[in-house]
Copies of this chain bind each other. A is one copy, B any other.
Amino acid sequence: MKKSALQKARAAYQPKLPIALQGAVKVVEGKPTQSVADQETIQKLFPNTYGLPEIRFEKNSTAGQGKPVNVGVILSGGQAPGGHNVISGLFDGIKKIHRDSRLFGFLMGPGGLVDHKYIELTAPIIDEYRNTGGFDIIGSGRTKLEKVEQFDKGLEILRELGISALVIIGGDDSNTNAAILAEYYKAKNTGIQVIGCPKTIDGDLKNNLIETSFGFDTATKVYSEVIGNIQRDCNSAKKYWHFIKLMGRSASHIALECALQTQPNICLISEEIEEKNMSLSDIVSYIADIVTARAAEGNNFGTVLIPEGLIEFIPEFKRLIAELNELLGANADKVAGMDASALTQFIMSNLSAENVASLKGLPEGVARQLMLDRDPHGNVQVSLIETEKLLSGLVSAKLATSQKFKEVKGKFSALHHFFGYEGRCADPSNFDADYCYSLGFNASALINAGVTGYMSSIRNLVKPAVQWIPGGIPITMMMNIERRNAEDKPVIQKALVRLDGEPFRKFAEQREEWAHNTCYIYPGPIQYFGPTEVCDQPSMTLKYEHRN
């Protein structure tokens, strides 16, 4: 690998560790835990790993006698900055336990465990990847570990390699599966521990005990960098409205964090739109009104942040999509041979009047996409809808017939952006580099403590890294029962944006001013070597949520 100058310089960075992990470690057990909901059902599903105590690590005065341990690691799901540091922290941690400890990486995600594809991660390999972005050290994948056959297949290779602990780095689904696997291996008395690590740029894997998932910090800083640059362009040329869609499957944490960092004119928050039962037309009016008010001041430019998951939170869309999926699912055989026009006619004559009206209110291209482009399961492919273009098109159409907009001699010209892949594999910020390294190192302490079904937890993150509090949280504690594919399943509760939370409140109390004045902030690119107030700040979300 030919390295960039930054990579070379950055390789020397030594991530900061909480003081409690720097020397010998003492395990402090808390009280037994309960799941956040559906306690009885979840206890039944996890008889061996339910109700375990929280764990906190503290500095120990005397070091214990460590034994070599073989550990496996898996990167699961979408990339997030810092994954390599979780692995290097884990490596350094198990080497500290005993220099003969070994680390095996399963390739291309959970599938590598099932298919017995792996490499041993030795010091020279680890050193190539310290403080870098990406998951390319072993690759990632989306195979779901859900079935007993997969668990048994995995067990074979774990036994063959003498692996007694498996670390799964992933989002809510992957950690749910880690808990199920932990339960299974425990029930079978395999002696294999399973530890999870909270990863996802989406920021929706968090709760009272997991303050943030890793990668959120870096990804939102990269998006904020380019949003800031676009805003500066916007404020220089003063002639475009930029509609900027931001990745994030469901929750709007990314859009909200970027809004707090850059102060755009408009930021839509899906959770609020659902809560207020806003229609697409309401949203379009909201934007058009701000465009008009700015035009009245001579400002025919602005920025709009749009969370990727928006569509599925708009109640009328939700209903439309649900009915479309149901209608076409129930008539799968009948519609299979239809051409586009026959299918369109079939849909229009069988959909409820309300949803026909919703469809007719959409631009032709979007309506066509909803009706005709379907995934292999026959479902509407919501992620293909270019929400940013849909919205700007509807706003443009609305303004074209607006008397007020004409009176103020407004002009409306839109440009579109979608940011996602630009940030998922960025070099981790100092925060993510430190946090990830600590999460991985901490996972080795959990392994050393002999526990299973725990998630690596580092808290007190708004303080300097030395003051961070390392420990472990039973994964079952974060679970509830949810309906998935017509089945009740135990899953980790996804954290959506809370409208009563500080980050949203801070946004809501300022957005009126941001809309009408031009209050852009230009954060610039992530810095690694400068003053601490530039280089070592956690996300605004984290600060607002935990500053007390």
Q: Interface on A for B, CB 8 Å cutoff?
A: 2-10, 78-79, 108, 132-136, 139-140, 222, 225-226, 228-230, 232-233, 235-238, 242, 261, 263, 415, 417, 421-427, 519, 521-531, 533-534, 537
10 contacts between A and B (CB under 8 A): A6-B530, A7-B522, A9-B531, A229-B424, A232-B425, A232-B426, A415-B421, A527-B529, A528-B530, A529-B531
| Contact across chains for A426 and B229 when beta carbons are under 8 A apart | yes
| Contact across chains for B133 and A522 when beta carbons are under 8 A apart | yes
Kindly state the separation between the CA atoms of A9 and B237 in the bound complex, as whole angstroms: 26
Kindly state the separation between the CA atoms of A498 and B170 in the bound complex, as whole angstroms: 48
Knowing A226-B226, A519-B2, the reply to whether A524 touches B427 (Cβ < 8 A) is: yes
Kindly state the separation between the CA atoms of A229 and B225 in the bound complex, as whole angstroms: 14
Given pairs A6-B524, A10-B524, A222-B226, 14 additional interface contacts (CB within 8 A): A2-B519, A6-B523, A7-B524, A79-B236, A133-B522, A134-B233, A135-B236, A136-B236, A139-B238, A222-B525, A226-B226, A233-B421, A233-B425, A525-B526
Knowing A2-B519, A423-B229, the reply to whether A534 touches B236 (Cβ < 8 A) is: no
| Contact across chains for B139 and A236 when beta carbons are under 8 A apart | yes
Instruction: Looking at the assembled complex, report how far the CB atom of A234 sits from the nearest CB atom of chain B, in whole angstroms.
Output: 8
Kindly state the separation between the CA atoms of A148 and B232 in the bound complex, as whole angstroms: 33
Nearest residue (CB) in B for A415 is B421
B contact residues around A263 at 8 Å (CB): 2
Kindly state the separation between the CA atoms of A46 and B3 in the bound complex, as whole angstroms: 51
B contact residues around A233 at 8 Å (CB): 79, 134, 421, 424-425
Instruction: Looking at the assembled complex, report how far the CB atom of A522 sits from the nearest CB atom of chain B, in whole angstroms.
Output: 6
B contact residues around A5 at 8 Å (CB): 523, 533-534, 537
Kindly state the separation between the CA atoms of A242 and B426 in the bound complex, as whole angstroms: 16
B contact residues around A427 at 8 Å (CB): 522, 524-525
Nearest residue (CB) in B for A221 is B525
| Contact across chains for B425 and A133 when beta carbons are under 8 A apart | no
| Contact across chains for B236 and A140 when beta carbons are under 8 A apart | yes
Kindly state the separation between the CA atoms of A233 and B232 in the bound complex, as whole angstroms: 27
B contact residues around A525 at 8 Å (CB): 6, 222, 225, 426-427, 525-527
B contact residues around A140 at 8 Å (CB): 236-237
Instruction: Looking at the assembled complex, report how far the CB atom of A353 sits from the nearest CB atom of chain B, in whole angstroms.
Output: 31
| Contact across chains for B523 and A230 when beta carbons are under 8 A apart | no
B contact residues around A236 at 8 Å (CB): 79, 134-136, 139-140, 425
Nearest residue (CB) in B for A537 is B5
Nearest residue (CB) in B for A427 is B524
Instruction: Looking at the assembled complex, report how far the CB atom of A420 sits from the nearest CB atom of chain B, in whole angstroms.
Output: 9
Residue from the list B421, B526, B528 in contact with A230, Cβ < 8 A: B421
B contact residues around A4 at 8 Å (CB): 228, 261, 521-524
Residue from the list B135, B523, B527 in contact with A528, Cβ < 8 A: B527
| Contact across chains for A422 and B229 when beta carbons are under 8 A apart | yes
B contact residues around A2 at 8 Å (CB): 263, 519, 521
Question: Most B CB atoms within 10 A — which of A230, A422, A424, A529?
Answer: A422
Knowing A229-B422, A427-B522, A530-B9, the reply to whether A134 touches B242 (Cβ < 8 A) is: no
Kindly state the separation between the CA atoms of A230 and B423 in the bound complex, as whole angstroms: 8
B contact residues around A79 at 8 Å (CB): 232-233, 236-237
Kindly state the separation between the CA atoms of A417 and B226 in the bound complex, as whole angstroms: 13
B contact residues around A134 at 8 Å (CB): 232-233, 235-236, 522
| Contact across chains for B229 and A108 when beta carbons are under 8 A apart | no
Question: Most B CB atoms within 10 A — which of A242, A524, A531?
Answer: A524
B contact residues around A533 at 8 Å (CB): 5, 8-9
Instruction: Looking at the assembled complex, report how far the CB atom of A115 sits from the nearest CB atom of chain B, in whole angstroms.
Output: 14
Kindly state the separation between the CA atoms of A477 and B236 in the bound complex, as whole angstroms: 31
Instruction: Looking at the assembled complex, report how far the CB atom of A97 sits from the nearest CB atom of chain B, in whole angstroms.
Output: 28
Nearest residue (CB) in B for A422 is B226
Nearest residue (CB) in B for A530 is B529
Q: Which 3 A-B pairs have the closest CB atoms?
A: A525-B525, A529-B530, A134-B232
Kindly state the separation between the CA atoms of A232 and B519 in the bound complex, as whole angstroms: 34
| Contact across chains for A425 and B229 when beta carbons are under 8 A apart | yes
Instruction: Looking at the assembled complex, report how far the CB atom of A287 sits from the nearest CB atom of chain B, in whole angstroms.
Output: 19
B contact residues around A228 at 8 Å (CB): 4
